[in-house]
């Protein structure tokens, strides 16, 4: 067990060679998974702290399960208990660290793919809540024997055939991670704030080309009412850091 990240709410561990008794271990690619363990907060009353950690773990589990069920590229839930969540390990490049180094054509393809993924979440009323390039991974190529990869390839090819000519060519899939702040909402406002977050992330970390990158994102996101509400959010400025 290796600690790979620690935030205010949780410690993230990479588990390699999981025990045979682990749920769904036989279906794990690379024989690895992620364990997200919500840590206690000593400044809170113990009972309240337990309730908060349990509620947030349960909520994240439900949202990841829903996102996965509608075809979004998110880690598959393996198991969860009161405070801990075990999910599929996604091997790949974090966009916050690598997007700027890719050729411009690949950057545009990635942003178009991201637009499709975020649109899929929003059409199913899933709000990510922390939509930055730090929480997006371009997955490393997986052996074609993987059933999940074969299914995604087939689905993507069908979408390309039936979709618009502007759809990006098939490439390694993007995965959205860290749904710790996610929630369910039908409100256009909340979806527009998600858009504002990714736009701000592009401006901050990928400023060399941020306007073109965001336009490529909108090209495939294409939910007009949410894009229109984004303009209102930006004018109001209440979500700016």
* Cβ atoms < 10 Å from Cβ of 87: 23
Name which of 231, 208, 219, 195 is nearest 110 in CA terms: 219
Distance CA 222, CA 156 (A): 18
- Report the C-alpha gap between 70 and 47 in whole angstroms: 35
Catalytic residue among 47, 49, 93, 130: 130
Please give the structure tokens belonging to residue 64.
């990841």
Q: Which residues of 39-48 are buried (b: 16+ CB within 10 A; e: fewer)?
A: eeeeeeeeee
What sign has the CA pseudo-torsion 83, 86, 90, 91?
A: positive
The reply to whether 81 belongs to the active site is no
- Which residues form the catalytic set? 130
């Amino acid at each position: 067990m290796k600690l790979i990240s620690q935030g205010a709410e949780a410690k993230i561990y990479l588990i390699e060679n999981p025990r045979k008794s682990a749920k769904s271990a036989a279906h794990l690619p690379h024989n690895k998974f992620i364990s997200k363990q919500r840590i206690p907060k000593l400044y809170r009353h113990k009972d309240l702290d337990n309730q908060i950690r349990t509620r947030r773990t349960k909520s994240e589990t439900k949202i990841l399960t829903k996102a996965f069920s509608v075809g979004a590229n998110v880690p598959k839930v393996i198991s969860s208990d009161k405070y801990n969540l075990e999910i599929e390990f996604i091997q790949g490049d974090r966009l916050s660290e690598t997007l700027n180094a890719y050729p411009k054509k690949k950057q545009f393809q990635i942003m178009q793919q991201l637009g499709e993924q975020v649109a899929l979440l929003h059409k199913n009323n899933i709000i990510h809540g922390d939509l930055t390039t730090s929480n997006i991974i371009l997955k490393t190529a997986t052996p074609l024997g993987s059933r999940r990869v074969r299914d995604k390839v087939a689905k993507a090819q069908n979408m390309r055939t039936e979709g618009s000519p502007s759809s990006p060519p098939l490439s390694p899939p993007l995965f959205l991670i860290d749904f710790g702040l996610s929630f369910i909402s039908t409100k256009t406002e909340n979806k527009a704030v998600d858009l504002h977050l990714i736009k701000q992330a592009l401006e901050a970390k990928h400023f060399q080309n941020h306007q073109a990158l965001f336009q490529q994102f909108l090209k495939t996101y294409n939910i007009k009412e949410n894009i229109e509400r984004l303009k209102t959010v930006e004018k109001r400025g209440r979500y700016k850091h």
